[in-house]
A and B are shown apart, each in its own frame.
Chain A
Amino acid sequence: MSRYTDTQLDALRELANIGSGTASTALSSMLGRSVDISVPSAFVMPMAEAVGTIGDPESEATGVVLGIVGEMPGSVLLLFTPKDAELMCGLLGVEAGSEFGESALMEIGNIVGASYINALGQMIGMELEPTPPAAATDMLGTIVETVLAERAGAGDVALLLDSDLVVEGEDCSVSFLLVPDQGGVDQMLERLGV
């Protein structure tokens, strides 16, 4: 059912890989720890299935979303489980769940997300700019669904590029989703020549 070939999905995964590599460097200098990245996965699937693929829709999560404006509109979403949020805030010396906690996560999202978007823009030779971040702590399904709803106006298929940033020495990670507008995927592939 996927309308993309394996080669195209590989190319998209590679994009996500380089993007999250740059993002991990940003996170690493922010936390003063080294940060590893997982091999990204690329999912192309009906929107109806996308939410469930990411995790238990009713589990709690904090999401930080950045819009992408420019030649390829889209959204970047960073997801923290409550445990990850707590550890991450701990590394920055603020209390999770407090006003400062959410603000700290939003700042992590801002720096990490913006470097991801910049890396992406450079690779495909497009002018991409991040919009200021917004954060919400809610059900995982709600957060993912809201981001998809904003982006998937023209199509029923969602493309998700998912990678994890893992902080060394801590059992702590952030997952990362890139949700381009429908036309955006084709634009990216065209730039990559696949």
Chain B
Amino acid sequence: MGELAASAVAGDVLVSLGLGSCIGLALLDRRAGVAGLAHVVLPASGGNAAPGSWKFADLAVPELIDRVVKFGARRPMLEAVLVGGASMFSVSKSSLEVGQRNEAAVRELLRAARINVIATETGGSRGRTIRVYVGSHKVTVREAGGVEKVLVAGATRLAA
């Protein structure tokens, strides 16, 4: 929770297990073979979060962009995948809101950064696990008790 990671090492797998109301945001530069993943917990920091607190969308999204760029991704080539934002406890209104607000906040920040969202698996009431396969740029999602589903098909490495 509230973590983020980036890699340019083919064969690395970035994972967020059991996303509920949180959002797993993957950023890919498929040509450069760089990927990053952030686990966003809450939509906004309100401006008073400790430095290095990446659980808030407004802090995590720019940081994740910086990290993948540091690993050699090119900003105009970045594409995003969103997973999570579910409303877990059917009775609890507040968690429903958190999931939806998380997704809205992340989408707004991506729009402002001119990054296209190429695949999503959000909303609903099931927990999800996202896996990002660095190098092949395959992105998969798995729901509780379900099978792994491919959100972004992996490709053989493109010549850079």
Contacts and interface: CB of A to CB of B under 8 A. Distances in A.
Contacts of A140: 18
Given A136-B89, A138-B88, A145-B19, 19 more contacts: A46-B2, A47-B55, A58-B144, A60-B145, A67-B92, A138-B20, A138-B144, A142-B18, A142-B19, A145-B1, A145-B18, A145-B20, A148-B1, A149-B21, A149-B22, A149-B95, A152-B41, A156-B50, A156-B55
Interface size for chain B: under 10, 10 to 19, 20 to 34, or 35 or more residues? Answer: 20 to 34
Contacts, number: 102
A149 to B, nearest CB: 5
Contact of A149 (B42, B90, B127, B144): B42
B18 A58 contact: yes
Interface in B110-140: 125-129
Most chain B beta-carbon contacts within 10 A, residue among A47, A132, A139, A148? A139
A194 to B, nearest CB: 25
B2 A150 contact: no
A58 B91 CA distance: 23
Nearest to B102: A149
A174 interface: no
Contacts of A63: 89
Contacts of B126: 138, 142
Given A57-B17, A145-B18, A150-B98, A48 B1 contact: yes
Most chain A beta-carbon contacts within 10 A, residue among B2, B95, B125, B127? B127
A136 B126 CA distance: 9
B3 interface: yes
Most chain B beta-carbon contacts within 10 A, residue among A46, A48, A140, A142? A142
Contact of B42 (A57, A65, A132, A153): A153
